[in-house]
Amino acid sequence: MEITFSLDEINDVAQLIIAENPNKVMLFHGEMGVGKTTLIKALAKKIGVNGATSSPTFSLVNEYQTSDNQIVYHFDFYRLKIETEALDMGADEYLYSGHWCFIEWAEKIPNLIPDSHSVITIKLLSDGKRSLTLI
Q: Which residues pair with 66 in a beta bridge?
A: 49
- Taking the C-alpha atoms of residue 108 and residue 106, their distance in angstroms, rounded to an integer, is 5
The pLDDT value recorded for residue 59 is 77
Residue 125 lies in domain: 2-134
- Taking only the tens place, the pLDDT of each residue in 74-127 is 999 999 999 999 999 999 999 999 999 999 999 999 999 999 999 999 999 999
Q: What is the CATH number of the domain that holds 51?
A: 3.40.50.300
Is the predicted pLDDT of residue 54 greater than 90, yes or no?
Answer: no
Reported confidence tier of residue 32, pLDDT bands at 50, 70, 90: very high
Number of domains into which the chain is organized:
1
**Separation between Cα atoms, residue 64 and residue 104, nearest integer Å:** 16
Q: Report the pLDDT value the prediction gives residue 55, as an integer from 0 to 100.
A: 79
Return d(Cα 44, Cα 135) in angstroms, integer: 19
- Give the model's confidence band at 58: pLDDT under 50 very low, under 70 low, under 90 confident, else very high: low
